[in-house]
Amino acid sequence: MIDLDRKICSDAAEASSREWLETNGIGGFASGTVSGIRTRRYHALLTAATKPPLGRVSTLSKFEETLIVGGERFELSANRYPGKIHPEGFRYLTSFRLDPFPVWTFEVGGVVIEKRLFMPHGQNAVVCIWELKGKAKNVSLELRPLISFVDYHHLQHADPSFETAFEEAKGSIRLRPYGDLPELHIGHNALAVEKTGYWYHDFELAIEEERGFDFREDLFQPFAMRFDLSKPAVAIAATEPIESKKAAKLEAAERKRRAGLIAKAGAETDIEMQLVLAADQFIVARGSGRTIIAGYPWFSDWGRDTMIALPGLTLSTGRPEVAKSILLEFANHISEGMLPNRFPDAGDTAEYNTVDATLWYFEAIRAYAEETGDYDLVEEELYAKLADIIAWHLRGTRYAIHLDTDGLLFAGEPGHQLTWMDAKIGDLVITPRIGKPVEIQALWYNALRIMADLADRFGHDEDKQRFVAMADLAKLSFNGLFWNEDEQCLYDVIADGTGDAAIRPNQIFAVSLAHPILERRRWKPVVDKVREELLTPVGLRSLSPDDPAYVPHYLGSPFARDSAYHQGTVWGWLIGPFIDAFRKAYAEEGSEVAAMLSGFESHLREAGLGQVSEIFDAEPPHAPRGCSAQAWSVAELLRVLRS
């Protein structure tokens, strides 16, 4: 359980730097800070997925909360306005915890009140409950909802076309500010509802300002609700009507569901239990199957991230049925031998601008089959599609992806970014890596060996011989071309016969994968080089500090940040392949692994609480940056912890 004390909670900066996240399994989410001050455009009590898992709309941004004790009013909320924080309700906060969902405890006017909220699984809804702890008389609560109703990437500004009217029935309120967006229903047990109808202007969002974006927002306040706290106050915001009396049943069901996830995973340590719950937040519905949201708050489902994260999020948590569903769902979207890189928010047309997502698909299938023994699924549903993928790569597919005469995979065209190092600013690709990237060769060889093993298992002798021959040629060529004798490590890319000597983490995959392409005698030098120049307590740097292009901090304008994204910035997910490679190269020194992972345990109490961030600054103290909750960061940490 993540538990923060008064010292952190009552400090505006400390409490605002820590974010909580609730998700609903269909792409919707709720998020905010411990202090209650919204710092991102994505902070809202209900961001609904109108076309699961996408079509996200921020509906209810927050409640302004006022506790009334014997006629005296105490504001529990907090907002940042130009030059001022008002009110400062965090000063009354005595604790915050994830138990298993967000719980705040306030002490004010001699009264202790607990607020908790959660999202019921499978519904665009958030349940909020305020409850007195101990005995007190003449205590009431006033809630004033602040409404946004915009695409979740956008900010609201006072809009004359915003429909301000609402309909009220007993225990229920309905709003629909725009005809083309869903309704918002608030089920409640308030004693009275009073129409207000005000725009609150100039909320300031600190992280948006830091990132160089529009950072001021207006929100509409339609009515106030008054509750008698002699019993718990309940407000359920949802896109469909939900009666407030269902809150207790929904809460019990959600507690049971999350406890079941921990039990199913067999998690025993605190960090494993927390990561199991974190993993669940990324698994969402897509059509009749499942997919993985790459990160919160702004990512959708990405093919590369999904396949890399699948083993950790599903197999390491005892949920192979979810892995199966994801593998089958993505099989439906294979095109010209490629998996989609991204399902865009704006529609259902997938983008196929990736070379590695497809190759990670082979590894995800291998991990699933090895864990479950379900080779029937692979033989009946997937093998033919995998063989067709290989065939497409042989004859060539999008973006000049094709097999060269040396048995290695070429990929890339000017203006396109195809590997995981995919930062692009307008038409400028920061790390184009056109040619033969090192990790692509490692993944290609791994895929060929997987296919050879499957062909052998299924009795396809001719296929086996062909895949083995292709793999052998790839390995021979790779070990002749990629070794950088001067640096005792691997080149990052081979292009036109020339090696890019930049020291990057991509070379670790030549050792870490199930079928290493690098000859064994060179495993230790590669691991040593990565450990010496790239390893940090929270992952691997994306570029050596000795490189002239190295950027130590991920800060500033969108251009500055995108320029630093893979030029030194630390990526948490890379700790997984590094640990895999280290365990292979130094099997006798496995006890060092715990120390390499220790930085993540303290990280769970900063930034995204109970979650693992996308990236970190390259230099100490390695401040967390980017998404506060990233699927492959959680997945790879969980996988190596449990392997």
Q: Given a cut of 90, is residue 230 above it in pLDDT?
A: yes
Split at pLDDT 50, 70, 90, the class of 420 is very high
Q: What average pLDDT score do residues 6-23 get? A: 98
State residue 54's pLDDT score. 92
Q: What average pLDDT score do residues 428-444 get? A: 96
What whole-number percentage of the chain has pLDDT above 70? 99
Residue pLDDT, tens place only, 305-347: 999 999 999 999 999 999 999 999 999 999 999 999 987 765 6
State residue 346's pLDDT score. 58
Strand ranges for 503-550 from DSSP E? 535-536, 539-541
Domain with CATH 2.70.98 in the chain: 3-257
Alpha-carbon span 440 to 271, nearest angstrom? 32
State residue 85's pLDDT score. 98
- Which neighbouring-strand residues pair with 483? 490
Residue pLDDT, tens place only, 562-610: 999 999 999 999 999 999 999 999 988 767 899 999 999 999 999 999 9
CATH of 3-257, one of 2.40.50, 2.70.98, 3.30.1560, 3.30.450: 2.70.98
State residue 348's pLDDT score. 67
Average model confidence (pLDDT) across the chain: 96
Alpha-carbon span 103 to 420, nearest angstrom? 37
Expressed in angstroms, the distance from the first to the final Cα of the chain is: 23
Q: Could you check whether the bond before residue 621 is cis, i.e. omega within 30 degrees of 0?
A: yes
Q: Strand, coil or helix: what is 41? A: coil
Following DSSP, what letter does each residue of 447-490 receive, concatenated? HHHHHHHHHHHHT-HHHHHHHHHHHHHHHHHHHHHSEETTTTEE
Split at pLDDT 50, 70, 90, the class of 287 is confident
**Nearest Cα to 350, choosing from 334, 329, 337, 328?**
334
Alpha-carbon span 77 to 108, nearest angstrom? 13
State residue 15's pLDDT score. 98
Residues 6+ positions from 303 with CB-CB distance below 8 Å: 330, 333, 339, 340, 341, 342, 354, 357, 358, 360, 361
Position 169: which residue type?
A: A
Q: Which residues of 34-58 are buried (b: 16+ CB within 10 A; e: fewer)?
A: bbbbbbbbbbbbbbbbbebbbbbbb
Alpha-carbon span 95 to 185, nearest angstrom? 30
Q: What average pLDDT score do residues 155-182 get? A: 97
* Rounded (10°) CA dihedral 301, 306, 309, 311: 140
Alpha-carbon span 103 to 65, nearest angstrom? 15
Domain with CATH 1.50.10.10 in the chain: 266-642
Q: What average pLDDT score do residues 226-246 get? A: 97
Q: What average pLDDT score do residues 501-512 get? A: 98
State residue 84's pLDDT score. 97
Indicate the pTM of the whole model: 0.96
Residues 6+ positions from 44 with CB-CB distance below 8 Å: 30, 31, 32, 58, 59, 60, 61, 62, 148, 152
Split at pLDDT 50, 70, 90, the class of 134 is confident
Alpha-carbon span 43 to 20, nearest angstrom? 10
Q: What average pLDDT score do residues 145-157 get? A: 97
Residue written as token pair 């959708």: 300
Strand ranges for 324-452 from DSSP E? 402-403, 409-410, 424-425, 428-429, 436-437
| Beta-sheet pairing, 498-500 with 493-495 | antiparallel
**Nearest Cα to 229, choosing from 314, 117, 144, 139?**
139
Alpha-carbon span 391 to 436, nearest angstrom? 19
408: DSSP letter: P
State residue 342's pLDDT score. 84
Tokens of 493: 């890319």
Q: Given a cut of 90, is residue 516 above it in pLDDT?
A: yes
| CATH code for residues 266-642 | 1.50.10.10
Position 194: which residue type?
A: E
Alpha-carbon span 183 to 201, nearest angstrom? 23
